């Protein structure tokens, strides 16, 4: 409508006045085009911003979930003993290997294997305090958590001279649940040891 009105209004104009009007009209159209382009770009930028924000939030949520799960799994690290309930938090093959080592080897034999019997603590009566440092998801079904362990007494005080040790807790997603699949590579240690002691199994 505005364009039609402008055309009707400019028809009687001649010479310089017509050129000036056409120039101003062109400026007006250029400004409208700029505003439209700017609005479209702003709209696209907003969409892109929300997409990036959604992806970032999803990644943070995933990382947080894995960290929380890793911390939960720490309660089932077989230090000194393998809990029966741990089978619900470990992959079947990892639990089966540990079950053989803890329950079918002579007790003194197991206790002589510091890498097995003392997963995260020694024989000083301390209690491990776990902290998840980071979790790296290597693929869709596997992740590795770096665990910091401090030795504390029953009253929660830090055991002097114990320091902080870092361990690696391996996780595997099975049927939608993250389970402990290994700890510091001890699964292979157990398998190698079993091959050396077939008569005890």
Total structural domains within the chain: 1
Mean pLDDT of each 10-residue bin along the chain, 201 residues long: 48 60 75 81 70 59 77 90 92 93 70 64 78 95 95 81 87 96 91 72 50
pLDDT at residue 192, as a whole number: 86
Closest CA to 178 of 128, 135, 149: 135
pLDDT at residue 71, as a whole number: 96
Distances (CA, A) of 144 to 137, 170, 173, 185: 6, 5, 12, 11
pLDDT at residue 16, as a whole number: 67
What's the CA gap between 67 and 58, in Å, rounded? 14
Q: Tell me, yes or no, if the pTM score tops 0.75.
A: no
Closest CA to 180 of 91, 56, 93, 102: 91
Domain span at 51: 1-201
pLDDT at residue 4, as a whole number: 45
pLDDT at residue 110, as a whole number: 58
């Amino acid at each position: 409508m505005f364009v039609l009105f402008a055309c009707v209004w400019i028809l009687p104009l001649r010479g310089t006045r017509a050129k000036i009007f056409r120039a101003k009209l062109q400026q007006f159209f250029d400004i409208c085009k700029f505003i439209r382009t700017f609005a479209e770009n702003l709209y696209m930028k907003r969409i892109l911003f929300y997409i990036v924000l959604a992806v970032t939030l999803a990644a943070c949520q995933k990382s947080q979930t894995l960290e929380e799960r890793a911390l939960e799994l720490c309660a089932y690290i077989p230090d000194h003993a393998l809990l029966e309930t741990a089978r619900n938090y470990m992959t079947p093959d990892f639990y089966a290997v540990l079950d053989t080592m803890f329950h079918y080897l002579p007790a003194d034999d197991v206790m002589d294997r510091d890498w097995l019997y003392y997963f995260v603590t020694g024989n000083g009566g301390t209690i491990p305090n776990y902290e998840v440092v980071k979790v790296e998801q290597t693929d869709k079904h596997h992740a590795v958590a770096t665990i910091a362990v401090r030795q504390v007494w029953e009253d929660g005080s830090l055991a002097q001279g114990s320091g902080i040790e870092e361990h690696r807790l391996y996780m595997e997603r099975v049927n939608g649940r993250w389970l402990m699949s290994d700890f510091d590579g001890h699964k292979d240690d157990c398998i190698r040891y079993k091959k050396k002691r077939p008569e005890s199994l």
